[in-house]
Structure 1
């Protein structure tokens, strides 16, 4: 069963308010400007497009939103470069907020949590989010690192950035947005830095605005986009669910932008499909060629042992709770959905930020009454199967908790190949993965060390079905 990750309360509250406003506006009908194409570094003028008034379901989701959500879903599943922003207007943004933002957040939060566990010294203050959309990955970074203070969001959809700005008011981050080409955008405007990170119990509001307008407008004049060899100026640079929308040349430009600007780490997240995995493999090769050190999910820099297996690909999964509106918009019945992802993270300087390389769980652990079978990618570059026996109480307990996609650290005696009996090993859960240690296993209610103190994601995977 995948690890379960819920939205932080601040985002959930802001999202509910945004969707409520969108529902009221959709029922009345509205006129919203479209945004620029992804190949232009200078945003063009917008053309108003009228939306059709739509009825509202008891849960607040409009039938128009559901139709748009289905169209967006089909477009993302098409998995080919886009010649125009997929989120074209405010109703599209509302549909995305309802159906895709929670899943994108959960996937990014999982990957960033794994990075934080592998690189404990990483405490970023600044973030670059390329292809930020409605800000899901920025929220995931905020929830992962309490040290984060400011974020730069770039996207070629004006409507998506407007939604991101409104939502991020609840985070307290100093937000700067840029509208234009996904690889080399043109800046628009920046928000002032907040005095403090807001308390989680506070009600989000416009006290710290991140935009000069509630809807996207034509960007202010700005200098040309910077060259790709600019000095590093952010701690972490990331992109999530973006490369599938770009050409091969644009993908290379995005990766070059991330590595040029990141001081400490880069993270790329893609859908957990065979095509997404192939894109991640290409990014992995580019990062290694540029001298970066892998920090996840790979515990090594050797050839991927999964790539050589026919009809197989390396990916992970997370489980996220669904709201009623989410279920209605997607036509689903279950109270949750599972999101599959492929990802890669790397650090620039392992001497500055040492990386802990532990084996990675490649599949759902097979739990039996007397043992747990794990399929692992190991630091030696091999794919191996391990059997953890109930006779080793500490290791067995840890094996029953580890989830698909998390790390598994083992002492030499922790587990043995099939047919051999394991001896006692000391293992402990970090909240995202299992690592070898000389300490006892943490109690069931131990909190992840890397989570935001007020908004830690749900660590249990026990989500009841619909």
Structure 2
């Protein structure tokens, strides 16, 4: 309806272009890294050239090479038109990823009924809809923060069915352009979905993560693209919260990882010889535009941090890849409570019929109810995952 009111030229191509751009986007290069690259280039150039270059020519050659080889990060400025394109491109996939993260909390703590929620980088409001779908009338206040006034206007319109005025479908939603830094007011759930990657530097991201954690009463939910860059960014945020010491904390309760990691140890995916992104997939039905009718799958990374004692957490291994079902055995790739990854081949004969049946009906992203990794000793099944 909103796209019909404000028709955009070649909207399908714009949607595809923005989708591809956001997925392939890298984090901005930090000044320290840029200086290191410049020093290495300068050394290589001096070694290659037989005659000594003048300082001016050397500097020019280094700058020219850096311009060609360095990723040029640019901040996206969402005006009315680009906000509509973003809605068409990302609102449904964003909803699917955040809803999956909320489901993790809902499924494991069904009695948890949050009353307040803050969404940093709220965009078109997909977090509002996902939270309302998960907890319904329990939520009485939503604080949506986004630097783009056009995005906030669009989100408010969507809540009112595409109209300028009228009663919003979800009550209690408030909009503002700046993140409130005071820790005096906390929210039961604080969310940042696909927003940390839009910040211009690691220092800025760290500052925002610390502010979001100070404003968290129960759960901090962080979601990014399921890429290496998105996963690494979330692990940096995770470590910052777990290791951070605030000068004057008003809430002294420690933090622990609620999901997906079953531990607070270094991520084994990042420390592997070939680092991989820890990501998950959520199937969904997209907004039925003419070019967008088939079911899709959102690949995303997430981390949910909670206040309280880690002893209360459910420390079962997490399935980190699609489950491979074979005759009389199942292949599961697991992130275990001891901080290690394990490829378990589960059979009824070796591991018991209950665990075998459970593994067979489990999916990528599920927890496997095994207390210790020793229960998953390698099976004698000779088949490989490719068999």
Fold shared per TM-score above 0.5? yes
Distance 2:315 2:373 in 1: 18
Of 311, 323, 339 in structure 1, the residue corresponding to residue 298 of structure 2 is 339
**Relative contact order, higher structure (CA 8 A, sep 6+):** 1
* Aligned residue number for residue 354 of structure 2: 394
* Aligned residue number for residue 365 of structure 1: 323
Matched, 1:157 2:148: yes
Q: For the structure 1 residues 390 and 21, does the alpha-carbon distance in structure 2 shift closer, same or farther, using more than 3 Å as the test?
A: same
TM-score, normalization by structure 1 = 0.62
Distance 1:150 1:301 in 2: 31
| Deviation digits for residues 20-41 of structure 1 (CA, Å, limit 9, x no counterpart) | 2322431xxxxxxxxxxxxxxx
Of 134, 147, 152 in structure 2, the residue corresponding to residue 144 of structure 1 is 134
- The 5-angstrom pairing of residues 3-82 of structure 1 reads 20-26=1-7, 54=9, 64-76=10-22, 77-80=24-27
Matched, 1:176 2:197: no
Instruction: State the Cα distance separating 1:404 from its structure 2 match.
Output: 1.1
Matched, 1:303 2:256: no
* Aligned residue number for residue 122 of structure 1: 112
* Aligned residue number for residue 319 of structure 1: 283
Q: For the structure 1 residues 413 and 133, does the alpha-carbon distance in structure 2 shift closer, same or farther, using more than 3 Å as the test?
A: closer
| Deviation digits for residues 277-315 of structure 1 (CA, Å, limit 9, x no counterpart) | 110110111110134111111100112111121142211
Instruction: Structure 2: state its 5+ residue gaps.
Output: 29-72, 161-167, 245-253, 382-387
Q: Tell me, yes or no, if the aligned pair for 2:97 and 2:298 is still in contact at 8 Å.
A: yes
* Aligned residue number for residue 132 of structure 1: 122
Instruction: State the Cα distance separating 1:394 from its structure 2 match.
Output: 3.2
Q: Tell me, yes or no, if the aligned pair for 2:315 and 2:371 is still in contact at 8 Å.
A: no
| Deviation digits for residues 224-272 of structure 1 (CA, Å, limit 9, x no counterpart) | xx4x352142111110001111122221122122111111111111101
Instruction: State the Cα distance separating 1:413 from its structure 2 match.
Output: 10
Distance 1:313 1:385 in 2: 17
Distance 2:326 2:288 in 1: 34
Q: Tell me, yes or no, if the aligned pair for 2:286 and 2:296 is still in contact at 8 Å.
A: yes
* Aligned residue number for residue 59 of structure 2: none
Residues matched between the structures, number: 315
Q: Tell me, yes or no, if the aligned pair for 1:72 and 1:86 is still in contact at 8 Å.
A: no
Distance 2:175 2:74 in 1: 22
Structure 1 counterpart SS, 2:309:
coil
Instruction: State the Cα distance separating 1:396 from its structure 2 match.
Output: 3.0
Matched, 1:273 2:227: yes
Matched, 1:419 2:379: yes
Instruction: State the Cα distance separating 1:102 from its structure 2 match.
Output: 0.6
Q: Tell me, yes or no, if the aligned pair for 1:385 and 1:417 is still in contact at 8 Å.
A: no
Structure 2 counterpart SS, 1:328:
coil
Structure 2 counterpart SS, 1:267:
strand
Matched, 1:378 2:368: no
Structure 1 counterpart SS, 2:103:
helix
Q: Tell me, yes or no, if the aligned pair for 2:210 and 2:241 is still in contact at 8 Å.
A: no
Instruction: Structure 1: state its 5+ residue gaps.
Output: 1-19, 27-52, 55-63, 185-225, 422-466
TM-score, normalization by structure 2 = 0.74
Q: Tell me, yes or no, if the aligned pair for 1:79 and 1:245 is still in contact at 8 Å.
A: no
Q: For the structure 1 residues 414 and 252, does the alpha-carbon distance in structure 2 shift closer, same or farther, using more than 3 Å as the test?
A: closer
